[in-house]
Amino acid sequence: MRLPDYLRVNGLRWTLRRAGEKAADRVFRRWDREWRRTGADRIPAGPEPDAGLISLLIPVYNTDPAMLQALLASLSAQRYPHWEACVCLAGDRPETADVLDRAAAADPRIRVRRARENAGIAGNTNACLSMAGGAWAVLCDHDDLLPPSALWEVAETIAAGDADVIYTDEDKITADGRLHTDVHRKPDFCPDTLRSMNYVCHLLAARRGLMERIGGERPAFDGSQDHDLILRLSEETDRIRHIPSVCYHWRTVGSSMSHQRLDRCLDAAARAVTEHMARIGWPGEALPENGVLRLRYDLRPLTAAALVIGRDPERTAHCADALRAVLPEGTPVRTEVTDSRFAAMNRMAAGAEEDLLLFVDEACEGFGPGFLGELAMYAQRPDVGAVTPMLTDRRGRIAHAGFTSSPALGLRCRDEGLPARAGGPQRLNHVSHNVGAVSPACFLVRRAAWIPLDEGYRTAFGLADACLRMSRSGLRHVFTPHARAVCADCPDALLPGRARDAEDLRRFRLAWPDWRDPCLNLALTDT
């Protein structure tokens, strides 16, 4: 995205902050130093995993010879020796061909096929797939690098026997290969996040038979062909495993498709996601919007009720009136004034007959038009538990965008205090995505998915506990930034800053001693 567009979308404060972070990353080499200290020479422990032959699919088109040579050298340095490089050479640059010819002569694991014509990224990758003899195929760009332990770590996951698709964390390297930047610590598989963006990206491995069965990559989606591929793979299997380790170095080269033709890539991604939504039975449309994807599912006919809970009759009535102004005509708004939030929520849920229940704290106001419909798009799905809007304070800063949860963290509000316009890390605050838990201040849930709350809690830990129980039963929770409200004074529901109720935190940790938030990378967990 061009700087003026980025500034318009994210605002001045976040743009300056991100520019400072990126400058610091390059000047002070923070991630580069950490990588070289902890990751560059990582030696896998234990016996060699029994994973068989792994085939790397490497389409090549007039690659810079030095970059291609660096990639091949990184393959030769792999700790796991049972691999083959299936290379489709579709360009006409003699120096590139010379590098491949010398490498293939020196190492029989490097196999090269010359294409009669350039079939594009997807077509050339499929040509590589047709050469593969391994049970697993790994996508690899022609100018990137793999650290020495990469295939070993993939092989360990293959040998465990419970995966059909594997992906890893990654970082970027500068064009000259000297500096590591922008480490991407990814969550475990999060389907709503994937629909909004291809966060999986590199390194991606899949069973070769599965990749062949779905037809490999599709040339019509060049530019976002990998996004289309992982979406279709996810329709065939839920055995998608994440390795929370940097196993891929993505070279930042200005000639890459994502740099040169961002609009084309985004358009291809939108078409891929729209088709995917229809195939999984939840049709709608994905549209490019401000450099990301905006999803709109078709709404099915469902009834809904708003349930407002407060301690002050006047504030509760004010919140109810604010809701009536934006909810579809005829939507019932019920209120209860009480000092026992979770007991009231249980009573109101038990007495409701509507399909969707919108719980709102009296402190909420400033609901935007289409508020309920945006939340309902996700809550209507049987695989979704709770859905949360973006809650801000009166200064337009994020007060709630979903919780991350773990025994070490307890609960933490994602990106608390950032300007609401700011995209945040990986631009997640601009797209709908999965979160570990949500706040009782404002959320929508299907009545059929409701789990009675533990009334022993006094703060937001009570709903987080219910969210984790829903997750354990297979449901996922969703944040959408396209529904917003102001919630300026509700600390027990938002848990601002480091404020914690000691008894609630103890209770939560006892209930979930081994909980691992699938939406939170372990490397980002406080210890």
Neighbours of 281 (CB within 10 A): 7
- Kindly state whether residue 299 falls inside one of the protein's structural domains: no
Neighbours of 496 (CB within 10 A): 15
Amino acid at position 511, single letter: A
The pLDDT profile of the chain, 527 residues, written as one tens digit per residue, is: 678 888 888 888 888 888 888 887 888 888 999 999 888 778 888 899 999 999 999 999 999 999 999 999 999 999 999 999 999 999 999 999 999 999 999 999 999 999 999 999 999 999 999 999 999 999 999 999 999 999 999 999 999 999 999 999 999 999 999 999 999 999 999 999 999 999 999 999 999 999 999 999 999 999 999 999 999 999 999 999 999 999 999 999 864 555 457 899 999 999 999 999 999 999 999 999 999 999 999 999 999 999 999 999 999 999 999 999 999 999 999 999 999 999 999 999 999 999 999 999 999 999 988 999 999 999 999 999 999 999 999 999 999 999 998 887 788 888 999 999 999 888 999 999 999 999 999 999 999 999 999 999 999 999 999 999 999 999 999 999 999 999 988 888 888 765 568 899 999 999 999 899 999 997 776 43
Per the structure, the count of domains in the chain is 2
Residue that terminates a domain, selected from 230, 252, 284: 284
Are 86 and 218 in the same domain?
Answer: yes
pLDDT value at position 44?
A: 81
pLDDT value at position 287?
A: 96
Amino acid at position 147, single letter: P
pLDDT value at position 522?
A: 78
Print the domain residue range for 268.
Answer: 39-284
Are 119 and 238 in the same domain?
Answer: yes
Helix-strand-coil split of the chain, %, nearest 5: 40, 25, 35
pLDDT value at position 2?
A: 79
- Kindly state whether residue 15 falls inside one of the protein's structural domains: no
Residue reference for tokens 């939560």: 508
Are 363 and 265 in the same domain?
Answer: no
Amino acid at position 157, single letter: T
Are 368 and 238 in the same domain?
Answer: no
203 three-class SS: coil
pLDDT value at position 254?
A: 66
- Kindly state whether residue 205 falls inside one of the protein's structural domains: yes
Contact indicator for 363, 441 with CB cutoff of 8 Å = yes
- Kindly state whether residue 443 falls inside one of the protein's structural domains: yes
The tokens for 29 are 């080499």
Are 193 and 236 in the same domain?
Answer: yes
63-114 confidence digits (pLDDT tens): 999 999 999 999 999 999 999 999 999 999 999 999 999 999 999 999 999 9
Average pLDDT, the chain: 93
Are 349 and 411 in the same domain?
Answer: yes
- Kindly state whether residue 363 falls inside one of the protein's structural domains: yes
The Cα 269–Cα 273 span in angstroms is 6
- Kindly state whether residue 96 falls inside one of the protein's structural domains: yes
The Cα 475–Cα 467 span in angstroms is 9
pLDDT value at position 301?
A: 95
34-65 confidence digits (pLDDT tens): 999 888 778 888 899 999 999 999 999 999 99
- Kindly state whether residue 26 falls inside one of the protein's structural domains: no
Are 203 and 322 in the same domain?
Answer: no
Are 377 and 470 in the same domain?
Answer: yes
Give strand ranges (E) for 74-116. 83-89, 110-114
Question: Is 360 exposed, middle or buried (CB count within 10 Å of its CB: 0-12, 13-18, 19+)?
Answer: buried
Are 141 and 235 in the same domain?
Answer: yes
* CATH assignment of the domain containing 472: 3.90.550.10
pLDDT value at position 14?
A: 82
The tokens for 507 are 């209770």
pTM here is 0.94
Are 275 and 335 in the same domain?
Answer: no
The Cα 468–Cα 437 span in angstroms is 7
Contact indicator for 231, 201 with CB cutoff of 8 Å = no
- 3-class secondary structure per residue, 264-321: HHHHHHHHHHHHHHHHCCCCEEEEEECCEEEEEECCCCCCEEEEEEECCHHHHHHHHH
Neighbours of 269 (CB within 10 A): 26
- Kindly state whether residue 100 falls inside one of the protein's structural domains: yes
Are 270 and 322 in the same domain?
Answer: no
The Cα 523–Cα 527 span in angstroms is 10
Are 259 and 341 in the same domain?
Answer: no
DSSP state, 411? E
The tokens for 201 are 């990206």
